[in-house]
Structures are given as C-alpha cells and as structure tokens.
Chains A and B, each alone.
Chain A
Amino acid sequence: MTAIKEYAALTRLTLIHASDAVRKGETTSVALTKAALEAFKVGDTTVNASIALDPEEALETAEGLDKLRKVGRLLGPLHGVPLAHKDMYYRAGKPCTCGSKIRGVFRPAYTATAIKRLEEAGSITVGSLNMAEFAQNPTGHNAHFGDCHNPWHVDHCTGGSSSGSGAAVAARFIYGALGSDTGGSIRLPASMCGVTGIKGTQTRVSRFGAMPLSFSADNVSPLARTARYCARLMRIIAGHDPSDPTSSTEPVSDYEAALDGDVRGLRIGIPNNFFFDGVDPEVWTAFDVAMNVLESRGAMTVRLEVPHMDDISTYASVVSRVEGATIHAQWMRERPEDYSVHLAGRLYAGYAIPAVHYVEALSRRGPILRALGKDVFAKVDVFATPTIRMKVPTLAATDIDAGAPGAIEAFGAISANTRAINYMGLPSVSVPCGFDSKGLPIGFQIQGRPFAEAKVLKVADAYQRDTNWHERAPTLDV
C-alpha cells in the first residue's frame, strides 16, 4: 500500500517537476518509470488507454539514464521522464498497430523522428497508446483493441483519434504523449479529457515514421497537462528533418521562454460566424468566462468574421477523405472486412469524389489563408473558439458500428471547429476551461498565424496561470 501511495505521488508530479526531480537526484528515472507502469496496471483496466506496454525495455532504459545522471551527464530536458505515444509512431523492430487489425503484425524497420528526438532528450517510451483505427474517428471507438474510456466518466468518449494519449495524460498514467492531428485528433481528446493539446503549423514537425493519413493535413504534436509542458515537448520535436523534405526550415523559437503571462494589449478575435453555430449553452458559458479571464489579464477581445468558413468546411472534408481513401485502396479491395464498419464506410465514400474537386480544395487553400491573413490577423493576434461545440457525448450515442441513430452526423459535428483549422494550416492549442453539468471537461482552442506556436502557447499559459482546471484529476473507479 505504501508503495502504491509513493507511485501515485510520483505520477501526480508535473512533467517539469518530474524532470527537475530526476536532475536534482530527488527521485530516479527508475522510480518514475515504475510509477507510470503501476499507474497503467491499476487504472488502465478501466480506461483502456494503452495498446502495449514495454516494462522491461522501459526499466532498462531508465536504469541507463540513472547511471548517466550519477556521473553528471544529462541527455536533455526530458532526462528520465517516462512518456507513451499513440500507436502510430514507428519504432524500429517494435509492433505498431495503428489501432488496426490490418497492421496487427507490422514491425517497422525505422524510428519516427519525433520519437527519436524525444528519446534523445532523455525521455523513456513506456509503451504505445490506444487510438482510433488508422486515426480516423473523433470519438475514441476502437473495434479491435476496445474503446478508450473517458477517465472522468467511463461511459463517455475520450475524443479521437488520439484517444489513449488524452486519456492517459488525464488519468495521470503518464506526463505527456504524442498524438497526431489531421482534423482535430489532438485537440478533441485534449478537450474531452481535460488536458492541453497543441497542433503545430502544417509542416512544423517532421512526419517521418508517423503513420500517414492525409499528407496535406497530418500533424505530429503533443498532449500534456498544461501549455508549458506542451511547449517543452513541442520545442524538442519541432524543426526541419532531412528525412521529411516537407518539414519546414523555419527556425524554432524557445516556446517555454515565451511563457511570461503577459497578454496585455493582445487582441483575441472571437468569430461571429460558423464556430458558434449550434453551440451548447454550457460550452458557450465556459468559453465566455475563459475570455473574461484573459481580459482581466489585459487582453482585448474583438468580434470578427472569419472569411470563407462555408468553403473551408466543404474543402476540409474532401481533402483528408480523398487522401485517406487513396492510401487505403488496396486493403479496401482485398480485405474490407478487416476494417471496422464505420471506417470502411467512411473510406468508401472517398472513392467517388471527383479529382477536380479534390484539386480545387487544395488550390484554394493558399488564397483562403491569404484572406485570413488580411481579414483576421491584420486585426487580431490570435482567435479563439470552443474546441467542440457540444458537450462530451457518450460512447453509445456515437457508436456507428452499433447503428446508433445520428452517430454519422455526430462524427462530423464533433470535429467541425477543429477540422477547419487543419485546412488553414494554423497552429492551435486546446485548453481545458471548465466542466459541464455531468462533470465532463470543456475546452477552447486558440489559433495564431502560421508558425506562431509561441504566441498561442503564451495565451494558453497566461490563462492557466489564473485557472486550475488543468490541475484537476479524475478519480478512477477501479
């Protein structure tokens, strides 16, 4: 019992406190890793956030890191910190299921750049996390590995597709995790699970070794409890990678150093159009209160119109659907029964979208982003919206495979606000801003100009200095 209490105390440390504690010799990498593994063991029967843990390798790595620290050598800003990642990041020789039956025995021959950079910074990968099959649903359902359950209320969705990443961070199994975001797949679980999640500017982080979904909209980024911890993880993984020629050569600034809490005079746009259509009153109230918090710090809110939102909504749905359908075509011909019902159904429709409309959607991306620069970012520094317009739904109400009425429409509605941001390619961070009447989290998202990761994180951090939603932890009924 004492050991369990000690482990619980360690998992409740923050990412930065855990890192500092190892550096100062107040705890060890082995102790943190054992605590994380024990947390999964105790709590994951309820949450189902993991797909595979690797205790032996994790502890061996931790022992090595502790030996290095004893001789005064620290690998980097994550020395000795256990993490776990969505099961779509390749690690040489390790299984990588992509949340699917189809890739059930896949063992990649190389390691994802983002994982490599995190491990070179001293982190320990303790295992792989549950996810939507091939990262293609916004709820956290998974027919092959079991649905991931929201640690705040296990009947409810975690959000997806980075379901295990959101749930594991929220449940305090792990200090941070990589997710991926093509239409909201980091920000949706961040919002539904009450943690912080950032999607970088399109091309900001290398996608080498990350399972592809939609090459125009895929993003590799982290989830953690706060903006500050996301900043630390993001700085480590961002930046050009020769193995991914599409990754940006734009310099990476010190995101953590930018977090000074000073948002005086900062202009925050609040859209009049699109983003609040049909929004739940409880979500709207939480959003308004969040804006009041930022105003009380000296930020100014400005009402504005975001141009072309109807077009963006149409185009965004086409781009990822066509690109996803393309890379799955051979499996859809040869073994469609190995996909879950909803994924095979969603992919199928993609084969009938005319190429001229797909190219139209891609071709208008540049002009629309320029219009956004003129009509939005000439007037404000960032703009904010609810991450999700509705309250967290139940798994049953959104189970397409079980034939739940309205579930297909719910899939589209959940990601309406996030998917649009991927089309624009903007950096966006989702921040917890309260709980609904059933005790489930609510989040809002902050968007900035391309490569303004430091700014969106700064606003998120300023908000978190005056609120404590991110400090609240669910009590697991284990």
Chain B
Amino acid sequence: MSKDIERQVEEQAKAWSGIAPPNSTSRDFARGLAETVKGFERARGQLVFENEPSSFEAALQETKERER
C-alpha cells in the first residue's frame, strides 16, 4: 500500500499539476496519505445527495449562540 500510494501521488501530482517530488521527505508525506484514504473508506455512505459546501454557512447560523 505505502509504495503504491507513493507512486500514485507522484503520478497524480505530475499529471495534474506538473509538480515533481521536491525532496525525499515529500515521499514520507505521500505515504502518510494512506491513513487519510482509510479515513475516507470509513466515512463512505455518510455523504447524502443533498449535502453541499454552502450548508456550512447555514449551519453556523442554525447552531449559533442566541441571547437568553
């Protein structure tokens, strides 16, 4: 998995952004994305069709502190 993700990151960064690994430490950070992938696997199924980013602004208002 870690080698796979390191290679995937390199291909994605090059193909989409024209960016090469800047140093050897960048490969360590790339391998760290494996945990993030697992996090998204665990979260699958929770996003529903109507969810979209602007709902956050509305949620700030709905959940805000109100004078008592």
Within the assembled complex, what's the spacing in Å between the Cα atoms of A397 and B33?
A: 22
A250 within 8 A of B: yes
B43 to chain A: which residues have CB within 8 Å?
A: 310-311, 314-315, 360, 364
Within the assembled complex, what's the spacing in Å between the Cα atoms of A204 and B54?
A: 17
Binds B, one of A77-85, A188-196, A367-375: A367-375
Over the window 317-352 of chain A, the binary record of Cβ atoms lying under 8 Å from chain B Cβ atoms (1 yes, 0 no) is: 110000000000100110011010110111011011
A163 within 8 A of B: no
B2 within 8 A of A: no
Within the assembled complex, what's the spacing in Å between the Cα atoms of A317 and B34?
A: 13
Q: Which residue of A lies closest to B51 (CB)?
A: A363
A191-216: which have CB < 8 Å to B? 201-203
Q: How far is the CB of B1 from chain A (nearest CB, A)?
A: 14
A43 to chain B: which residues have CB within 8 Å?
A: none
B53 to chain A: which residues have CB within 8 Å?
A: 359, 362-363, 365-366
A99 within 8 A of B: no
Within the assembled complex, what's the spacing in Å between the Cα atoms of A351 and B17?
A: 7
Q: How far is the CB of B12 from chain A (nearest CB, A)?
A: 4
A372 to chain B: which residues have CB within 8 Å?
A: 63
A329 to chain B: which residues have CB within 8 Å?
A: 17, 19
Q: How far is the CB of B6 from chain A (nearest CB, A)?
A: 10
Over the window 30-68 of chain B, the binary record of Cβ atoms lying under 8 Å from chain A Cβ atoms (1 yes, 0 no) is: 101100100110110011100111111111111111000
Most chain A CB within a 10 A radius of its CB, from B33, B52, B63: B63
When the two chains form their complex, are residues B32 and A349 in contact, meaning their CB atoms are under 8 A apart?
yes
Within the assembled complex, what's the spacing in Å between the Cα atoms of A357 and B46?
A: 12
B21 to chain A: which residues have CB within 8 Å?
A: 348
Over the window 413-449 of chain A, the binary record of Cβ atoms lying under 8 Å from chain B Cβ atoms (1 yes, 0 no) is: 0000000000001000000000000000000000011
Q: How large is the interface on B (under 10, 10 to 19, 20 to 34, 35 or more residues)?
A: 35 or more
When the two chains form their complex, are residues A353 and B22 in contact, meaning their CB atoms are under 8 A apart?
no
Q: How far is the CB of A79 from chain B (nearest CB, A)?
A: 30
Q: Which residue of A lies closest to B14 (CB)?
A: A351
When the two chains form their complex, are residues A348 and B22 in contact, meaning their CB atoms are under 8 A apart?
yes
Within the assembled complex, what's the spacing in Å between the Cα atoms of A310 and B8?
A: 24
B60 to chain A: which residues have CB within 8 Å?
A: 201-203, 248, 369, 425, 450-451
B15-31: which have CB < 8 Å to A? 16-23, 25-30
Known contacts A313-B39, A318-B36, A365-B59; A333 and B30 CB within 8 A of each other:
no
When the two chains form their complex, are residues B29 and A349 in contact, meaning their CB atoms are under 8 A apart?
yes
B54 to chain A: which residues have CB within 8 Å?
A: 366
B65 to chain A: which residues have CB within 8 Å?
A: 448-452, 454-455
B57 to chain A: which residues have CB within 8 Å?
A: 203, 366
When the two chains form their complex, are residues A332 and B22 in contact, meaning their CB atoms are under 8 A apart?
yes
B55 to chain A: which residues have CB within 8 Å?
A: 363, 365-367
Over the window 296-320 of chain A, the binary record of Cβ atoms lying under 8 Å from chain B Cβ atoms (1 yes, 0 no) is: 0000000000000011011101100
A121 within 8 A of B: no
A408 within 8 A of B: yes
A351 to chain B: which residues have CB within 8 Å?
A: 9, 12-13, 16-17, 19
Known contacts A348-B13, A352-B13; A366 and B26 CB within 8 A of each other:
no
When the two chains form their complex, are residues A408 and B12 in contact, meaning their CB atoms are under 8 A apart?
no
Known contacts A351-B17, A372-B63; A366 and B56 CB within 8 A of each other:
yes
Within the assembled complex, what's the spacing in Å between the Cα atoms of A430 and B65?
A: 19
When the two chains form their complex, are residues B22 and A310 in contact, meaning their CB atoms are under 8 A apart?
no
Q: How far is the CB of B35 from chain A (nearest CB, A)?
A: 8
When the two chains form their complex, are residues A314 and B56 in contact, meaning their CB atoms are under 8 A apart?
no
A360 to chain B: which residues have CB within 8 Å?
A: 40, 43, 47
Q: Which residue of B lies closest to A409 (CB)?
A: B32
Q: How far is the CB of A382 from chain B (nearest CB, A)?
A: 10
A400 within 8 A of B: yes
When the two chains form their complex, are residues B9 and A339 in contact, meaning their CB atoms are under 8 A apart?
no
Q: How far is the CB of B23 from chain A (nearest CB, A)?
A: 5
When the two chains form their complex, are residues A449 and B17 in contact, meaning their CB atoms are under 8 A apart?
no
List A residues at the B interface (Cβ < 8 Å). Answer: 201-203, 248, 250, 310-311, 313-315, 317-318, 329, 332-333, 336-337, 339, 341-342, 344-346, 348-349, 351-353, 357, 359-360, 362-367, 369-370, 372-373, 377, 400-401, 408, 412, 425, 448-452, 454-455
Given contacts A314-B42, A317-B36, A333-B19, 6 further A-B contacts (CB under 8 A): A203-B57, A317-B39, A345-B26, A348-B29, A363-B51, A363-B55
Q: Could you pull out 21 A-B pairs where Cβ atoms are within 8 angstroms?
A: A311-B42, A311-B46, A315-B43, A329-B19, A344-B25, A345-B29, A348-B30, A351-B16, A351-B17, A352-B13, A353-B36, A360-B43, A363-B52, A366-B51, A366-B57, A367-B55, A369-B56, A370-B59, A370-B63, A449-B63, A450-B63
Closest 3 CB pairs of A and B: A366-B55, A314-B39, A373-B63
